[in-house]
Amino acid sequence: MKMSWRGILFVLSSIVSAVTAISALNRNSVFDIYSDSIAPIEVVGRKFYNSRTGNQFFLRGVAYQPTIASESWNPEILNSETNYIDPLAEPSLCLRDLPFFEKLDVNTLRVYSIDTRKNHDVCMEALANSGIYVLIDLSEPNHSIERNRPSWDISIFERYTSVVDVMQKYSNVLGFFAGNEVTNDETNTNASPFVKAAIRDVKQYIQEKSYRQIPVGYSSSDDATTRDSLAKYFACGGETAADFYGINMYEWCGYSSYATSGYRERTLEFANYPIPVFFSEFGCNSVRPRPFTEVSAIFGPKMSQVWSGGLAYMYFEEENEYGLVKIDETGSVHELEDFKYLQNAYRNTSPYGITKEKYLQDISFAISTQSVECPNEVSAANTHTPWKANVEIPPSPNAKICQCLEQVLPCLVSPLNGWNFQDHFDYACSQVDCSDITTDGEKGIYGEFSYCLPEQKLSLEISKMYHMRNHPTGVCPMSSNNVYYNAQSMNITDPMCIEVSHRLQELQKAADSRKTPAVKKLVKPKMKNASHTKLLLDTDSGSSVKFKYSGYAILLISIIFATMVF
């Protein structure tokens, strides 16, 4: 029988659909089997538990993040789009290293950055089949909460939640770190509220998405002046509290002891801590090879009742000389002396544990359910305290509101690069009140739009300058190629954006009521480079205006109604 070309296309389409469906079925089948091969770890009170067996879980692990330099033998690595290597997305690396993990007898890896655009199935399945869990930092080098300029904005939020989306399906994801040593001394304790906001929002996101209840915690430094307040701060606050707390601990060096290393004092300090605490890094290298004598103490009877194990730093040898193995120019793995010492130490661990059933009836569980008091806030009578993190934390980022700014504001800014951004901000904020985009973790003050992207925040402040004119002309105040007039602001239909517009009008009226009768004089910004000054001069002539809609009619309408929306 002769078949028409339409019939041929239909048959081919059916075949493709069938193949696709079978492939998807196979993938799902593999994943279902894999999911059952390892039970998720859960937090119960101050301990980790295997959710299937009810046995207490102790982390016996290693930090695992290769550098581009160490893996330069691999052409695929050299062509990576990121400035880091995601070892969980590189089967050539994780499968190469897996036998060494098994030889070390580790059950947990810590990975500091992952590439959310890549597939992690092969590595995560192989690790699961070997009984190995993974702790993952949510940040990456260009998207993290910085201690000196802390921020919790939609860009970082989207990075963190994208990691959750990609990794939540794996049963051997033990948890997520929302920050690593963000506060590391008394000069930057005001950064901690931003991390705490991240913990709150990531936990809420996991709940809203109906994902498995994956723990979200923090990895702290062991700074003497702040460690007590840090520990309390991240355990207090109910829903904003961390699910677990890691400490990067390097007090025990060489052949020290429980009594002389500081481990005894730390154990007493955390004796009644309400959430699981463990060493998110350990392994002082002042003595090489490292004998790892601290391992017997960490997993011994005195410490295992308080601590949930630890992670040795680190697997790869780098210039800092903390490695267990060295990778040669061909990609081969060579064990260092540290590897053998840690292997022997881990093999001899037998930590004291208590089953979940018994623990729920134990007095220590009742203690763990008691609320923790947050560290004292700064007061007039105690201004010299090293702890200056406010219990008030930043608001949850709302991308929709920030997107609405791009619709309702008369002046918009295209993305800028480098320090030019700061120059524009400095100038704008010398002319208008920028309190709605600024933050202060010490005072607990966070601007209403402080979580928006830099270009959205700058657009807001430049638009205030535009509104400040007695006769708006449709020309934005800064004559920069990155600043342009937004004619679309005259035609807003989105209900939420209309609300945002009304809110901006309320804020503007409040600001106007606080103004003095004198007209504020516009001044030239002080620039790092004089050649940039002319880009920001506030003059009507010479301003670069870009219209999203062309035509004189739109321009006339914009001029007439410019003040109706903003």
Q: Establish if 44 belongs to a structural domain.
A: no
At 495, the pLDDT band (50, 70, 90 cuts) reads: very high
Beta strands in 64-207 (DSSP E): 108-111, 133-137, 173-180
Nearest to 236, CA basis, from 373, 441, 388: 373
- 318 and 413 co-located in one domain: no
- 157 and 245 co-located in one domain: yes
Q: Establish if 542 belongs to a structural domain.
A: yes
Q: Can you tell me the mean pLDDT for 514-522?
A: 46
Domain boundary among 368, 384, 416: 368
3-state secondary structure 213-282: CCCEEEEECCCCCCHHHHHHHHHCCHHHCCCCEEEEECCCCCCCCCCCCCHHHHHHHCCCCCCCEEEEEE
CB 286: neighbour CB atoms within 10 A?
8
- 444 and 335 co-located in one domain: no
3-state secondary structure 360-390: CCCHHHHHHCCCCCCCCCCCCCCCCCCCCCC
- In the chain, what percentage of residues exceed pLDDT 90? 69
Give the model's pLDDT for residue 515. 60
Domain boundary among 348, 368, 388: 368
- 280 and 193 co-located in one domain: yes
Please state, in angstroms and rounded to a whole number, the distance separating the CA atoms of residues 256 and 27: 50
Highest mean pLDDT among 66-70, 71-75, 115-119, 379-383: 115-119
CB 91: neighbour CB atoms within 10 A?
16
Contact 416/424 with Cβ under 8 angstroms? yes
- 363 and 405 co-located in one domain: no
The yes-or-no verdict on residue 261 having pLDDT over 80 is yes
- 102 and 220 co-located in one domain: yes
- 314 and 409 co-located in one domain: no
The yes-or-no verdict on residue 490 having pLDDT over 90 is no
Please state, in angstroms and rounded to a whole number, the distance separating the CA atoms of residues 165 and 211: 9
Give the model's pLDDT for residue 81. 78
**Between these two residues, 5 and 534, which has the higher pLDDT value?**
5
The yes-or-no verdict on residue 96 having pLDDT over 60 is yes
Give the model's pLDDT for residue 25. 35
Q: Name the one residue in this structure whose structure tokens are 């060494």.
A: 100
Give the model's pLDDT for residue 305. 96
The pLDDT tens digits for 23-77 are 433 433 333 334 568 999 999 999 999 999 999 999 999 999 998 877 877 777 7
- 363 and 404 co-located in one domain: no
Average pLDDT, the chain: 85
So which residues are the catalytic ones? 181, 281
- 358 and 422 co-located in one domain: no
Domain boundary among 368, 389, 409: 368
Q: Establish if 394 belongs to a structural domain.
A: no
Q: Establish if 199 belongs to a structural domain.
A: yes
**Between these two residues, 361 and 385, which has the higher pLDDT value?**
361
Give the model's pLDDT for residue 211. 99
Q: Establish if 464 belongs to a structural domain.
A: yes
Q: What's this model's pTM, rounded to 2 decimal places? A: 0.84
**Between these two residues, 453 and 561, which has the higher pLDDT value?**
453
Please state, in angstroms and rounded to a whole number, the distance separating the CA atoms of residues 451 and 548: 26
- 345 and 440 co-located in one domain: no
- 515: domain CATH number? 1.20.58.1040
Give the model's pLDDT for residue 443. 96
DSSP 305-318: TTEEEEEES-SB--
**Between these two residues, 489 and 95, which has the higher pLDDT value?**
95
Q: Establish if 45 belongs to a structural domain.
A: no
Q: Say how many domains are in the chain.
A: 2
**Between these two residues, 79 and 226, which has the higher pLDDT value?**
226
- 364 and 403 co-located in one domain: no
**Within its chain, how far is the Cα of 42 from the centroid?**
21
Give the model's pLDDT for residue 365. 83
- 331 and 472 co-located in one domain: no
Give the model's pLDDT for residue 472. 62
Q: Which domain holds residue 518?
A: 399-565
Q: Establish if 142 belongs to a structural domain.
A: yes
Contact 537/437 with Cβ under 8 angstroms? no
Q: Can you tell me the mean pLDDT for 382-402?
A: 89
Q: Can you tell me the mean pLDDT for 135-151?
A: 96
The pLDDT tens digits for 269-320 are 999 999 999 999 999 999 999 999 999 999 999 999 999 999 999 999 999 9
Return the amino acid letter for 112.
Y
The pLDDT tens digits for 444-460 are 999 999 999 999 999 99
Q: Establish if 251 belongs to a structural domain.
A: yes
Query: Residue 150 region, left (φ>0) first, then alpha (ψ -120 to 50), else beta?
Result: beta
The pLDDT tens digits for 219-260 are 999 999 999 999 999 999 988 999 999 999 999 999 999 999
**Between these two residues, 113 and 506, which has the higher pLDDT value?**
113
- 279: domain CATH number? 3.20.20.80
- Under 8 Å CB-to-CB from 168, ≥6 apart: which residues? 206, 209, 211, 212, 214
Please state, in angstroms and rounded to a whole number, the distance separating the CA atoms of residues 57 and 50: 6
Nearest to 206, CA basis, from 28, 38, 43: 43
Q: Residue count of the chain, please give it.
A: 566
Q: Can you tell me the mean pLDDT for 75-83?
A: 74
Give the model's pLDDT for residue 531. 37
**Between these two residues, 265 and 548, which has the higher pLDDT value?**
265
